[in-house]
């Protein structure tokens, strides 16, 4: 399985993603944002970081960069596109995913372990996943997902909510919503479910000496669904 991780100036989780993808069997390559075209891939990943410093809105400049047109074409043809953290922000800026990511409720950067519940397994990312409550890690300042009521209804009706923040038992409530995201949303799909944007970083939880191992479950499952 071939994957590509796109590097924008200011990306800083690109290497971590590369390590994770390779560990679980992807043949990964790194792609510079100014490269004219995408190499042949089964999966495109937009990694975390602070693309272009995030000095405008997070992800907005990256959302207009040269490579993005190829990413949009790839996604529209049904290719898998995964955006983590800043990558999620970029995906909303390109319009590939609905809604926006606002500053965290407590107006502070948050770096900690959280739990998410998988809401939809009818897609390549979560089909047959071993556990439906995963312990993952977040590290962001603008991770509070927001959209209009109309959009929310639409993403609910289309089963686009991928994962929601919860406690270790799967209870999603205000207390276990780290950033104030609407309906505890931590990640969403597009209508076709080939594009996934999520705030948590599975690539930081890929062996037992790190903050945890549930990221491994995510990647193992992902590559299995490709085969």
Out of 56, 73, 108, 121, point to the residue binding other proteins (CB under 8 A): 108
**Interacting residues of 56 by C-beta distance below 8 A, sequence separation 6+:** none
Q: Where are the alpha helices (DSSP H) in the chain?
A: 14-23, 68-76, 86-94, 149-157, 214-226
> In angstroms, rounded to a whole number, what is the distance separating the alpha carbons of residues 211 and 113?
7
Tokens 């602070």 appear where?
50
User: Is 12 an interacting residue with respect to other proteins (CB under 8 A)?
Assistant: yes
Q: Which of 85, 140, 147, 176 is catalytic?
A: 85
Asked if 111 is part of the footprint of other proteins (rule: CB under 8 A), the reply reads yes
Residue 180 binds other proteins, judged by CB under 8 A? no
Quote the DSSP letter at residue 133. Answer: E
Which backbone phi and psi does 176 adopt, to 5 degrees?
Answer: -105, 30
Binds other proteins (CB under 8 A): choice among 24, 26, 52, 115? 52
* Binding region for other proteins (CB under 8 A) out of 102-110, 147-155, 168-176, 219-227: 102-110
**Binding interface with other proteins (CB under 8 A):** 9-10, 12-13, 15-16, 19-20, 34, 48-50, 52-55, 108-112, 137, 139, 141, 201, 203-204, 206, 209-211
Residues noted as catalytic: 85, 201, 203
């Amino acid at each position: 399985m071939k994957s590509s991780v796109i590097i924008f100036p200011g990306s800083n989780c690109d290497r971590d993603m590369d390590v994770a993808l390779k560990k679980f069997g992807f043949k990964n390559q790194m792609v510079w944002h100014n490269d004219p075209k995408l190499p042949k891939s089964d999966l495109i990943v937009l990694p975390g970081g602070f693309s272009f410093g995030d000095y405008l809105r997070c992800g907005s400049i990256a959302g207009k960069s040269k490579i993005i047109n190829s990413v949009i074409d790839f996604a529209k043809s049904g290719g898998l596109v995964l955006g983590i953290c800043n990558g999620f922000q970029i995906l909303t800026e390109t319009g590939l995913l609905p809604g926006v990511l606002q500053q965290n409720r407590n107006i502070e950067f948050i770096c900690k372990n959280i739990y998410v519940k998988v809401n939809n397994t009818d897609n390549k990312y979560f089909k047959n996943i071993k556990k439906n409550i995963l312990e993952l890690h977040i590290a962001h300042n603008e991770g509070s997902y927001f959209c209009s009521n109309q959009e929310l209804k639409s993403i609910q009706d289309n089963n686009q909510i991928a994962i929601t923040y919860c406690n270790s038992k799967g209870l999603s409530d205000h207390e276990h919503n780290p950033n104030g995201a609407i309906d505890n949303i931590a990640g969403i799909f597009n209508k076709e479910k080939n594009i996934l944007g999520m705030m948590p970083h599975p690539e930081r939880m890929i062996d037992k000496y790190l903050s945890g191992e549930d990221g491994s479950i995510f990647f193992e499952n992902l590559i299995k669904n490709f085969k």
